[in-house]
Amino acid sequence: MAISKHTPALFNEGLPDPRLQQFRMRRLQVHNWGTFNGLTEVPIAERGFLFVGRSGSGKSTLLDAMSALLTPPAIVDFNAAAREAERSGRDRNLVSYVRGAWADQQDSGTGEIATQYLRKGATWTALVLEYRAGDGRVVSLVRLLWISGNGTSAGDVRKHYMIAERPFDIAKDLGGFDLDLRKLKQKLSDLHHFDTFSGYAERFRDLLGIDNEMALRLLHKTQSAKNLGDLNVFLRDFMLDTPKTFDAAERLVSDFAELDGAHQAVVTARRQVETLLPARAYYNDLKEMHRQRGDDEALKLGVDSFRESRRQALIEARLREMDVRDRGLLGEEAQRRAALDNHTERLAELELQRRQQGGERIEELEREQGRAEAERDRRQAKRDQAQEAAQQLQAELPGDAHGFAELVERAQNELQDRQRASAALDDAISDRLGGKRDDERRFGEVRSELEAMQRTPSNIPAPMQKLRARLAEETGIAEAALPFVGELIQVRSEEQGWQGAIERVLGGFALSLLVDDKHYNDVAEWVNRTHLGMRFTYYRVRRNDDAFAREPSAKSLLHKLELREHVFESWLRRELGKRFDYECVDAKQLRNVDRGITREGQVKHPGDRFEKDDRSAVGDRRRWILGFNNHDKVGAFEREAQELAKRIASCETDIARLRGQRDRDNERRLACHELVSISWNEIDIAAPQQRLSDIGATLRDLREGNADLAKLAKQIDAVRADIEQSRRTYEDVRVERGQLVKERDRLDRARQQSRALVLPSLAQAQEAGLAERLQEQGPLSLETLEAHMRQVSNALNEQLSSSQQDLNRIENQLIGCFRRFIQQWPEESGDFTVSVASAEDFLARLERLERDGLPQHEERFFDLLQNQSKNNLLALQRHSAEARKSIGQRLDEVNASLEQVPFNRGTLLTIELSDRRLPEVGEFHLQLREVLSQQQTEQRELAESQFTVLRQLVNRLGSQEGEDKRWRELVLDVRMHVEFIGVELDAETRQQVEIYRSGAGKSGGQRQKLATTCLAAALRYQLGGADSQLPSYAAVVLDEAFDKADNEFTALAMNIFDNFGFQMVVATPLKSVMTLEPFIGGACFVEISGRHDSGVLLIEYDEEGKRLKLPERSRQQANEPEEAEA
């Protein structure tokens, strides 16, 4: 279609003077826009303009060109009016307009749907919208769009904006444009150039008198006024500004990050203090234990020196005592010697007198009598021995030599027999003692096992359980986190016949400890530094190890196993499958498998290696270690314990019996030996007795015959008795003194030996400490010194051993604190190491945290909580209240505009405001008040609870979750807290005629009428300025706005827009032309041919008749039904 050459002179340009300051749309130019190929120019009448045409002809395309020039890209919605019915997605965009998309067709070859474009390759588009004011001012808005290559994506479209304060002509000003923007700027240097819409919009709004972007949004929405069915949505989005509550909430969330950081710093500092605080006590304990241990070690080193010093002191004291005693004994010895000498001299005098009186024969007989008595006594003693021996043999001692010889012969024979029997008894006793020792040792082992099994349900041997308990205690790891393999496996109850054989295969593996990867370092360090005293195997279990994938063979022992549910189950299943997939077979089948076992316990390993370990019976439950509980094993051990107790008691009985028999045999053997060693002459007392009898008779005769001799004899007997007594007392003293001398010599040698020892000198603390410990042992003497010092030394050894264990435990706990600190805060650990050597550094850090770090963090946190967050909360609360107040004020202004125009004949429309009282909004404001009321307190101990409540609120305000975002929009958007109700009033009586709640339940025409009326008032409000002045910007574009309204309302609505001083630019089908004619000053007809070539034809306007000069046929067609919109 050729470009129209009509000029604005066709239209009446005379306007009342008040309109001279208004900018009105005067000309639209498009170049390569949609289905408008080349340049199309549409002059627009100053009073108003109609774009007339059938659906799909291109009317909306031209209106979208205006939108592309006036509307922010983020909100532009092309062809919105055509989508009201179907609610379809956006099918038009800059690419489709620049390229000239006109159809979607299916490719015959591929079957794919492809968009058909009019313009391919490099192409450019220009849009120009010219505004003029009655005072001669001109503003031309220009937008350039171009695609350099063959692209069809939004990113391929380049854009440039220009504003000319003069008429702009595409043909003239853009002639020769070759997509070189730099050259274009040089050519059009008198224009304002912009690369972004924001700067461009700010400039043209200033020039055209549009106060804010909200007005642009409303103007764009006006194009699809029939889509304004929801009064609430319309008024909220286009009449009311976005409340500042969103900014306040954003500041609250943003600033909360600082508060949260301060809180996190407090939490971190507290956690660091909590982590290191036990370390201080541990370190103090460790230092005290080291000090105490050093003292004990010093005492241990001083034991020998102390003992010898005490020994020397005791010897010195004893020697002093002995010197005193020796001096006393020396005097006593001299005294008793003198007495003995006196008695001896007296005896000599008496014996001399007796000899002088003829007593030589008596003296000779007395001497012989003494010899005979001595011989008698000797033989009697031997006879008594023989008599006792005979009684042991249940025999009488014979009275003659022949009978005694027979008794000796009998004893000799029995002695030989008893010697052989004694050896047999010794062997029997030794055998019983050996058996008893073995049974007692085994009984102790069984008792230990039972005690261990009563503490835990494990079948693992007691020594292994004790080792695990020690490991757990000294590393701080829970025993439950350190299972043995055997505790996680048991043989299924229906397969018990195979358990003994399975135990032989899995035995070593079942005694292995499983260690989680996170505990590995602690366990490895402990095992490395500890002497275990036994063989110990453990496995490091990494959680990312997958269970084995290979299915075990049908006869595999793995099918007979049951695994406990445990975090190590997958690892254990993999390990079993990899190492213990043995087939359960009989002896014959064993030859033909790679790995297998028999019920009897014979095992075949890979490589034709066979093994059978019968050191214990295959069915001995006491040796089994697999199972989730130990009921059966406890029973087996209890039965063994009972049997062992019986055997031990039987052994004790046998040993007592055999020992009794051996004692009795020894007594008889000694008796026999006694008799064999005695001759008859040694026990025959008859001859000495006869001789004594003879001597006694002779002495009586001699003494009784001489009275003087008898008297002397009595005196001599008395003196001899005195001599004997004096000799005994004298010898006693001499012996005692001799023993004293020997003891003194011994002590003196001991003193010299002690002094000769080279020993370190004792410190005062050593002396005092050992003296105190020695005093605790009881009274001290030379005799008890060794025993007491041995007790002291043993106690020190035990104390040192125990303290070493305590040191290890405390050191592990201390190092555990350091390790946890470094693991949690590696960036703050610097050069610290997990060792006691870094203790001072760690504790210095703790002191700084307690003195400075934590108080400072708490002070900053409390300050931010009480001030920053409080201010933000108050701002949020204030903006919410102000927004609610602003809504009422804005509504008053809109209603003032609505008062100026009728809604229906004889009625007015007013908008009333109603609070929705949404529960979520109420809860939100209640929560705000609660948080603020809590923040009035100065009690810092409540700060944590305040922060928790505040964080819950802020987290939800800042959340990106769908539900939280919906909630955030609801509680912050004060516009959503009210409902707008349209109330139709009688213009005279002000009585209520009808109520409109967001168009609910109303017909399409009624909704459109309500929307258009509110739209006019909204535009008047947004563009009208103050004091009811006419808007500086007058052009209002409507796209088929009155297709569902009756003629009366259409005229009424257009009168409303006209009274408000707006220039109406309307796209409409033919059927609405006659109603709209009186309110415009010109029109054009838009048509399309071949579905892809649009053009315009200007229509002359009759100013007097206020009608378009249409052919009668066209007017008749205007009354015919319109085709459905394509």
Alpha-carbon distance of 269 to 277, in angstroms, equals 12
| Least-confidence region, from 145-154, 527-536, 1043-1052 | 1043-1052
| Ranges of each domain in the chain | 1-228+1035-1126, 366-457+629-705, 482-619
What SS3 class is residue 405? helix
Confidence of residue 21 (pLDDT cuts 50, 70, 90): confident
Dump pLDDT digits (tens) for 696-750: 877 777 666 677 777 777 888 898 898 899 899 988 988 988 898 888 888 888 8
Residue 85 has pLDDT above 60, yes or no: no
Instruction: Please count the CA atoms within 13 angstroms of the CA of 941 that sit on its side-chain side.
Output: 0
pLDDT grade, residue 811 (50/70/90)? Answer: confident
CB 1104 within 8 A of CB 1051: no
Contact 556, 582 (CB under 8 A): yes
User: In terms of Cα–Cα distance, which of 68, 34, 72, 213 is closest to 141?
Assistant: 68
Q: What is the pLDDT of residues 453-499, one digit of tens each?
A: 777 778 888 899 999 999 999 988 888 889 999 999 999 989 888 98
Count of beta carbons in the 10 Å neighbourhood of residue 700? 10
Report the pLDDT averaged over residues 399-417. 81
- Whether residue 983 contacts residue 204, with contact meaning beta carbons closer than 8 Å, is answered with no
> Which H or E element spans position 322?
helix 303-356
Using the predicted structure, report yes or no on whether residue 570 has a pLDDT greater than 80.
Answer: yes
492 sits in the region (left: phi over 0; alpha: psi -120 to 50; else beta) called beta
Which of 24-28, 888-892, 1014-1018 is predicted most confidently?
24-28
Q: What is the pLDDT of residue 214?
A: 83
Report which listed range, 103-112, 267-276, 440-449, 1031-1040, is most confident. 1031-1040
Distances from the Cα of 1104 to the Cαs of 79, 1056, 1077, 1078, in angstroms? 34, 22, 12, 10
| Tens-place pLDDT, residues 926-955 | 888 877 776 545 555 566 666 777 777 778
CATH number of 366-457+629-705: 1.10.287
Q: Average of pLDDT values for 653-677?
A: 82
What is the maximal distance between C-alpha atoms in the chain?
213
* 1069 — pLDDT class (breaks 50, 70, 90): confident
The alpha helices in 757-781, defined as continuous H runs, are 764-775
- Does residue 38 sit in helix, strand or coil? strand
Strands 1035-1039 and 596-597: unpaired
Helices 854-863, 245-301: crossing angle, 10 deg rounding: 160
CATH 3.40.50 fits 1-228+1035-1126, yes or no: yes
Sheet holding 192-194, edge to edge: 36-43, 23-33, 123-133, 138-147, 158-164, 192-194
3-state secondary structure of 158: strand
Concatenated DSSP letters of 467-522: HHHHHHHHHT--GGGS-BGGGGEEE-GGGGGGHHHHHHHHHHHHTPEEEEGGGHHH
Reported as a single tens digit per residue, the pLDDT across 819-866 is 888 888 887 777 777 778 788 888 887 787 677 655 565 666 566 666
478-487, 625-634, 996-1005: the lowest-pLDDT one: 996-1005
pLDDT at 252: 77
**Residue 1104 has what pLDDT?**
84
More confident: 529 or 455: 529
Q: What is the pLDDT of residues 203-238, one digit of tens each?
A: 999 999 998 888 888 888 887 766 555 778 777 877
Per-residue pLDDT band for 1125 (boundaries 50, 70, 90) equals very low
pLDDT of residue 3: 40
- Is the Cβ–Cβ distance between 834 and 819 less than 8 Å? yes
Q: Where are the beta strands (DSSP E) in 77-176?
A: 101-106, 113-117, 123-133, 138-147, 158-164
The alpha carbon torsion through 568, 570, 575, 578 (nearest 10 deg) reads 180
Structure-block tokens of residue 1074: 């006659």
Q: What are the tens digits of pLDDT across the range 1093-1103?
A: 999 999 999 88
Task: Decide: 182 and 204 in contact? Cβ < 8 Å.
Answer: no
What pTM did the predictor assign? 0.49
H helix count then E strand count, the chain = 32, 26
pLDDT value at position 337?
87
pLDDT on residue 6:
37
Query: Residue 1044 corresponds to which amino acid?
Result: K
pLDDT class of 868 with cuts at 50, 70, 90 = low
Distance CA 984, CA 993 (A): 5
% of residues, the chain, pLDDT over 90: 22
